[in-house]
Amino acid sequence: MPGFGDQLSDTEIWNIIAYIKSTWPDRVRANQAERTAAESISQGE
């Protein structure tokens, strides 16, 4: 699959990711939120 290079801005990429995540079931979103929080803690953020 060819790369898209500079065809999408960072904002457009984040909007696409947000849309995809909005289709996830609640339990999957909750699980991902827990993982993200745990990763932030382990990185000292």
Tens of pLDDT along 3-26?
777 898 889 999 999 999 999 999
Tens of pLDDT along 25-45?
999 999 999 998 988 888 776
Ramachandran class of 44: left when φ > 0, alpha when ψ lies in -120 to 50, beta otherwise = left
d(CA 21, CA 3): 22
* DSSP letter for each residue of 1-45: ----TTSS-HHHHHHHHHHHHHTS-HHHHHHHHHHHHHHHHHTT-
